[in-house]
Amino acid sequence: MDIIREFALPADREAAVRSQVEQFISSNDGKRIALVTSGGTSVPLEQNTVRFIDNFSAGTRGAASTEYLLRQGYAVVLLHRHSSLLPYNRRLRPHNAPWNFIDLLNVDSNGSITVDSSRVPGVADMVEEYRKVKAENRLLLVEFITLHDYLGLLHLCATLLNGCGRRALLYLAAAVSDFYIPNDKLPKHKIQSQDGPLNLTLGLVPKMLQPLVHDIVPNAFVVSFKLETDVDLLTKKSRQSLEHYGHQLVIGNILDKRKTEVTLVTKSAAEEIRLTDEQVEAGAEIEEIIIAKIAVKHETHIKSG
Amino acid sequence: MDIIREFALPADREAAVRSQVEQFISSNDGKRIALVTSGGTSVPLEQNTVRFIDNFSAGTRGAASTEYLLRQGYAVVLLHRHSSLLPYNRRLRPHNAPWNFIDLLNVDSNGSITVDSSRVPGVADMVEEYRKVKAENRLLLVEFITLHDYLGLLHLCATLLNGCGRRALLYLAAAVSDFYIPNDKLPKHKIQSQDGPLNLTLGLVPKMLQPLVHDIVPNAFVVSFKLETDVDLLTKKSRQSLEHYGHQLVIGNILDKRKTEVTLVTKSAAEEIRLTDEQVEAGAEIEEIIIAKIAVKHETHIKSG
């Protein structure tokens, strides 16, 4: 498989992550185990990288879904973009908040620093939940920045998870670039603007989903995402993807409505999930519903093995 | 000036920021006032943006420099990229840290949440410093994401600062794209990968420094940055930039060494600043030295008026 060779990790990074993931899997023996991917991939336009092409993603979907998977009892390997939102932590630094986290801190007369929890509702419970998950060693964070890192790490983690058979869930929420410039065609130094307008030709990124589903984790329950901006294309493209790759579930979403509407497309059905205005108002997250439904489907998948 | 028209802000955003900045300037009457720009600009490749070209920048330079300007007594308007590092706050969420901020939080038996300050040295002093700056109303944050936002906001803020005459300092540390796709050439929807390899032609972004120095803030002390990856080009290009635009100072830096080495290029001299290994070890930041030198040069500039 050319894609595996082209995006192989450097040997030392490969060994370090392999050891981490192997220990994590072995300490969660018997549990359902999810590999969640999250955030956008960066595609360098220069070897000494100043400029890059990126995909829009703060990592909200992956971080939120990870929390709900943990509540469902899963162990989770979260393969996330560097400095994207992280589970639990995301509630302390929402990207759209009008405040800095430092605004929540007070210094007592004895010099100790407390968090003004009235401004972060539920923060105490959230910290407790996080500490419990850590103590149980049910969350492993693995970080990437570039498309190359991402594909290499995805291949490695999935390969190791194959040992878990049908207990493995792949939840591929990362926003992966469709286009890239192969290493051997990258200019070495910063592109100079006095050379005039910039012409870029980007090649297609090989699809990792194909080898994942057929060769790497043939027994896992695999969920992919389809993000479009054009609603007319969405269901058609989600269905095409499912038929083409033969995996279990495609979650279709439209950029503007991704936080309140998704469509779960399986071989037999297309199910729309939509948060009501009241649910949004009350702070509900669509990931809670998505994960509850996936947990049921995954259980069926395990039992059918 | 075409660039001003092309990158004009929507009227409501213009009015809101204008009012904020006017109030800020008037409440800091008589003080030296800095406009610091920080972070990379995003250049959309689609109108409904999924993909964009971005410039590498976490915003460290601008955030750190803002802190040292505030210590020098300046009032600072920080025009920063959304979710880039912010002054003070950056010390609570270093991009390269192996921990989440949530790892620092403890829940007491009475449910109150404290910060484990042993793991964030100096955090109490830092929180106090931030509170003092806020109470004195000496820091205004203005946020951008895209190149369009950035250029429109820079023009507006600089125009308003011109009323401060020689007391105004422009410190242009943002990593601004040299290339962009004009609005009328942007595809409406997400570029489809089945159409094959992607050919992009990007035009040159008009240089804002020219109208800034000559028309918008002719009396201000203007500092620009030159980032290169090729050391052989750096001093030559810094000097060229200074001669071409006729402003006061270019700070040249090489991508890999930007945290420990810079060169301050003025009409009469090129001065290299380099942190020693001992200084780096002790947590010194090169921005402290840069800002101390700029404060002296700016003082001379004010007196020469």
Q: Residue B231 corresponds to which amino acid?
A: V
Contact B221, B251 (CB under 8 A): no
Reported as a pLDDT band with limits 50, 70 and 90, residue A1 is low
| pLDDT of B276 higher than 70 | yes
Which of A37, A9, A17 lies closest to A148 in space, CA to CA? Answer: A9
Partner B contacted by A228 (CB < 8 A)? yes
Residue A75's identity, in one-letter code, is A
The Cα B137–Cα B28 span in angstroms is 8
Within 8 A by CB and 6+ apart from A222, the residues are A169, A170, A172, A209, A212, A213, A247, A248, A249
d(CA A83, CA A103): 20
**Domain boundaries defined on chain B:** 2-91+135-303
Confidence band of A97 (pLDDT split at 50, 70, 90): low
Secondary structure of chain B in HEC code, one letter for each residue: CHHHHHCCCCHHHHHHHHHHHHHHHHHCCCCCEEEEEECECEEECCCCCCEEEEECCCCHHHHHHHHHHHHCCCEEEEEEECCCCCCCHHHCCCCCCCCCHHHHEEECCCCCEEECHHHCCCHHHHHHHHHHHHHCCCEEEEEECEHHHHHHHHHHHHHHHHHHHHHEEEEECCECCCEECCHHHCCCCCCCHHHCCEEEEEEECCCCHHHHHHHHCCCCEEEEEEEECCHHHHHHHHHHHHHHHCCCEEEEEEHHHCCCEEEEECCCCEEEEECCHHHHHCCCCHHHHHHHHHHHHHHHHHHCC
Burial of A38 (0-12, 13-18, 19+ CB in 10 A): buried
* Of B260, B264, B276, residue with least CA distance to B235: B264
| Contact flag B101-A123 (C-beta cutoff 8 Å) | no
CB B224 within 8 A of CB B244: no
Say yes or no to pLDDT of A178 above 60. Answer: yes
Binary contact (A54, B53; C-beta < 8 A): yes
**A74 and A31 in contact (C-beta within 8 Å)?**
yes
For A45, what's the count of Cα atoms within 13 Å in the CB-facing half-sphere? 21
> Is residue A41 within 8 Å of A52, Cβ to Cβ?
no
Asked whether the predicted pLDDT for residue A171 surpasses 50, the reply is yes
The CATH code of domain A2-303 reads 3.40.50.10300
Facing A100 at nearest CB: one of B50, B89, B117: B89
Dihedral Cα A89, B101, A177, A264, nearest 10 deg: -10
Check residues A218 and A58 and name the one with the higher pLDDT: A218
Rg, chain A, Cα only = 20
Q: Does the pLDDT value for residue A193 go beyond 80?
A: no
The single-letter code of the amino acid at A171 is Y
Q: Answer whether residue B186 shows pLDDT above 60.
A: yes
pLDDT bucket at A188, cuts 50 / 70 / 90: confident
Instruction: Look at residue A160 in the predicted model and tell me its pLDDT.
Output: 98
What is the ipTM, given to two decimal places? 0.77
| Contact assessment for residue B54 and residue B43, using Cβ atoms and an 8 Å cutoff | yes
The predicted-structure confidence for B200-211, as pLDDT tens digits, reads as follows 888 889 889 999
CATH code, B2-91+135-303: 3.40.50.10300
Q: What per-residue confidence (pLDDT) applies to A221?
A: 98
Closest partner residue to A115 among B95, B113, B196, by Cβ? B113
The upper half-sphere exposure of residue A134, i.e. CA atoms within 13 Å in the direction of its Cβ, equals 13
Q: How far is the C-alpha of A156 from the C-alpha of A8, rounded, in Å?
A: 9
Asked if B75 and B33 touch (Cβ cutoff 8 Å), the reply is yes
Query: Is A178 part of the contact surface with chain B (CB cutoff 8 Å)?
Result: yes
Q: Bridge partners of A202?
A: B198
Number of residues written out for chain A = 305
Determine how many CB atoms are found less than 10 A away from the CB of residue B204: 15
The answer to whether residue B94 scores a pLDDT higher than 80 is no
Residue B98 predicted with pLDDT over 70:
no
Q: Is residue B84 scored above 90 in pLDDT?
A: no
CB contact under 8 Å between A105 and B115, yes or no, is yes
pLDDT tens-digit map of B209-260:
999 999 999 999 999 999 888 888 888 899 999 999 999 999 999 888 999 9
A121 has pLDDT over 80: no
The token pair that represents B184 in the structure block: 């009328």
Q: Kindly list the distances between the CA atom of residue B3 and the CA atoms of A182, A246, B6, B145, B201, in Å, as whole numbers in the listed order.
A: 35, 51, 5, 18, 20
B178-185 average pLDDT score: 83
User: pLDDT tens digits for A71-86?
Assistant: 999 999 999 998 888 9
User: In the predicted model, what is the mean pLDDT of residues B40-64?
Assistant: 86
Whole-angstrom Cα distance, residue B97 to residue B103? 11
Name which of A226-235, B44-53, B127-136, B143-152 the model is least confident about: B44-53
Instruction: Tell me which residue in A127, A201, A228 faces B199 most closely, judged by beta carbons.
Output: A201
Per-residue pLDDT for A98 more than 60? no
A93 pLDDT band, cuts 50/70/90, is low
Can you give the pLDDT at residue A85? 87
Largest CA distance in chain A: 64
pLDDT in tens, A277-304: 999 999 899 999 999 999 999 999 999 9
The pLDDT of residue B279 is 94
Specify the pLDDT at position A99: 57
Q: Which residues of B touch A123 (CB under 8 A)?
A: 105, 113
**Chain B interface includes A30 (CB < 8 A):** no
Statement: residue A92 has pLDDT above 90: no
**Percent of chain B, pLDDT > 90?**
61
- Mind listing the pLDDT tens digit for each residue in A258-281? 999 999 999 889 999 999 999 999
Decide which of A99 and B90 is more confident.
Answer: B90
What are B227's two structure tokens?
A: 């980032």
> What mean pLDDT is reported for chain B?
90
Check pLDDT > 50 for residue A94: no
| Shortest distance, CA A34 to any CA of chain B (angstroms) | 21
Cβ contacts of residue A283 below 8 Å, gap of 6+? none
Structure-token pair, residue B245: 């635009």
The three-state DSSP-derived secondary structure of chain A is: CHHHHHCCCCHHHHHHHHHHHHHHHHHCCCCCEEEEEECECEEECCCCCCEEEEECCCCHHHHHHHHHHHHCCCEEEEEEECCCCCCCHHHHCCCCCCCCHHHHEEECCCCCEEECHHHCCCHHHHHHHHHHHHHCCCEEEEEECEHHHHHHHHHHHHHHHHHHHHHEEEEECCECCCEECCHHHCCCCCCCHHHCCEEEEEEECCCCHHHHHHHHCCCCEEEEEEEECCHHHHHHHHHHHHHHHCCCEEEEEEHHHCCCEEEEECCCCEEEEECCHHHHHCCCCHHHHHHHHHHHHHHHHHHCC
Q: How confident is the model at residue A64 (pLDDT cuts 50, 70, 90)?
A: very high
Residue A102, pLDDT score: 82
pLDDT of residue A117: 79
Higher pLDDT pick, A198 / B72: B72
> How many other C-beta atoms are found inside a 10 Å radius of the C-beta of residue B266?
14
pLDDT, mean over chain A: 90
Cα–Cα distance for residue pair A303/A239, rounded to 1 Å: 25
CA distance B79 to chain A (A): 15
Task: Give the orientation angle of helix A11-27 with respect to helix A147-161, to 10 degrees.
Answer: 40
User: How far does A136 lie from chain B, in Å, by closest CA?
Assistant: 15
Contacts B240 to A, Cβ<8 Å? none
Distance from CA of A154 to the nearest CA of B (A): 21
Alpha carbons A251 and A231: distance in angstroms, whole number? 14
A284 CB burial (10 A radius; 0-12, 13-18, 19+): middle
Contact between B204 and B178 (Cβ < 8 Å):
yes
Contact between B174 and B38 under an 8 Å Cβ cutoff? The reply is yes
Considering CB atoms only, which of B50, B229, B255 is closest to A56? B50
Which one of A48, A50, A128 makes the best mutation probe of the B interface by having the most chain B beta carbons within 10 Å?
A: A50
